[in-house]
Amino acid sequence: MQQDYPIALLNITATLVTLTVFVQVFLTKKTSFARWMLSVLSAMTLLGTIYLKGADQLFWAYPTLATIFYMLSAHIAALVAGIILAVVIVFVYSVLAPIHLSTAIATLILTYAFAYAFSVKMQRKNHQLRNSAFTDSLTSLGNRRALDERLQVIEETRKKQPIEYCLLVIDIDFFKSINDEFGHVTGDQVLSAFANVLKLGIRGKDEAFRYGGEEFVIILEKTELLNGVTISQNLLKDIEASNWPHINDKVITASGGIAQLNESETIAQWIARADKALYQAKDCGRNNVIAAQCNFKIQNPFKIVSS
């Protein structure tokens, strides 16, 4: 009876750790630490069980391998599971008959190989699904869902450390007339080409999103308002200077509103200020940028004019 106490203690410990991890995930909604904890817990429980109860507990190795590949990314799981597999074989090497040892090693390696192959395939599928869910199919920019996720990250980041962000909302001027004159297929081609101009015009650390229709959002990281205004100015210049063969090389211009994130405002208020500035830019004759908070506008987009 006493020899069952260690295994009972091991099971109780594993149960308590599992419950603790569950509570942590429930409270924080974060699973990265939990996945690692459950993987390590599964491995330690397996090794402890085999050490205490002997090689007849080897069957627990199969679900443990599956658990590790389920919890961790494919390549990391392969490393962790490979180490566990090697330790398990060392534990049972001297106590199993050669035929049983050969069978165990063969089936464990097959389980490992199939679990790894399945994990790699699922990881690729998940990556493809995520790209489809977060990418605008027409422009290949991030879509509204991707923007919402990025804004959530900004909200969490600014609680830990102050980082300057500017948000530029930019809209193609008179886009409806392009659709009316050339058709919606051509309009889609213009949107795609416009997105390429934005991608080429922003810095590597900045991100562009299609907000909806002909409206786009650019998040400028570690950027003060005046620097953001300069970037916006250059973007409008690039747009006006670009060739648009889809519409017989007619000139396309855009209007924008830009706002720097304030510590005291919410993300929704930040977007609202930039959006309001965009409409002010349109009211001021288009082909310009209005900066929220600062009473100046960029006209034609080459000259800063006090208002």
For residue 307, pLDDT beyond 50: no
Q: Where are the domains of the chain?
A: 4-134, 144-306
**Is residue 214 annotated as part of the catalytic site, yes or no?**
yes
For residue 294, pLDDT beyond 60: no
The reported pLDDT for the residue numbered 3 is: 60
The reported pLDDT for the residue numbered 1 is: 52
Contact predicate 133/145, CB 8 Å: yes
The reported pLDDT for the residue numbered 8 is: 85
Catalytic residue among 156, 164, 214, 263: 214
The reported pLDDT for the residue numbered 4 is: 75
The reported pLDDT for the residue numbered 279 is: 93
Q: Average the pLDDT over 136-160 and give the result.
A: 93
The reported pLDDT for the residue numbered 84 is: 95
The reported pLDDT for the residue numbered 189 is: 95
**């994130």: which residue's tokens?**
261
Looking at the chain, the whole-number percentage of residues with pLDDT higher than 90 is 76
The reported pLDDT for the residue numbered 164 is: 93
The reported pLDDT for the residue numbered 2 is: 52
The reported pLDDT for the residue numbered 117 is: 96
The reported pLDDT for the residue numbered 214 is: 95
For residue 305, pLDDT beyond 80: no
Integer Cα distance of 105 and 110 in angstroms: 9
For residue 302, pLDDT beyond 70: no
Write out pLDDT tens, residues 25-77: 888 888 889 999 999 999 999 999 998 888 889 999 999 999 999 999 999 99
249 pLDDT band (50/70/90 cuts)?
A: confident
CATH code for the part of the protein at 144-306: 3.30.70.270
Write out pLDDT tens, residues 125-135: 999 999 899 99
Write out pLDDT tens, residues 65-124: 999 999 999 999 999 999 999 999 999 998 899 999 999 999 999 999 999 999 999 999
Write out pLDDT tens, residues 170-223: 999 999 999 999 999 999 999 999 999 999 999 999 999 999 899 999 999 999
